[in-house]
Structure 1
Amino acid sequence: MAPPNKDNLFGSKKQAAPAKANQLDSTVKEILASEQAMRARKTARLRELRLEKEASQPPPEPKTKAKRKTAKASEAAKSESEK
């Protein structure tokens, strides 16, 4: 064992700025990759549940267009309500 001195008693020397930046970059990339993987799993699970729900429901009935009232019919309704 080496005799005690300030280097081996107080830890390693300060890291150089590029080394710190590389460490930070790799940590951030790991976090982002794990978040992206969790997001992809959640999306797949939700898609699967949605497809199961849609498959269990009966198909929706086709919508029919509502008949529009003609101008004369709406005027006659207004005049009757005014009386």
Structure 2
Amino acid sequence: MAPPNKDNLFGAKKQASQAKASGLDSTVKEILASEQMIRERKTARLRELRLEKEALQPPPEPKTKTKRKVVKPSE
């Protein structure tokens, strides 16, 4: 058995804080990944609905340019 010292009597505090930080880090990464996946699914679904709606609508009629009236100078 090793002679008693601060680390084996009370435990290393740095390891505990590092473990807690890495656990928090992994949790945050999981949450962000799930939110991104949800956002991408929603975007794909909305894009599909928009394309279906555009396919059902008739194409817009081309706009005709209005002719300007030429004002003749009066003498």
TM-score, normalised via structure 1 length = 0.63
Identity across the alignment (%) = 77
Q: Deviations over 1:7-63 (max 9, x none)?
A: xxxxxxx77111111011100000000000000110010000000000000001111
Residue 66 (structure 2) pairs with residue 66 (structure 1):
yes
So what's the TM-score if we normalise by structure 2? Answer: 0.69
Stretches of structure 2 that go unaligned for 5 or more consecutive residues are 1-12
Amino acid at match of 1:20: K
Aligned to 2:28: 28
Unaligned runs of 5+ in 1: 1-13, 77-83
- RCO greater where, 1 or 2, for CA within 8 Å and sep 6 or more? 1
Instruction: Provide the aligned C-alpha RMSD in A.
Output: 2.2
Compute the displacement of 1:67 (Å).
2.4
In structure 2, distance between residues paired with 1:31 and 1:20: 17
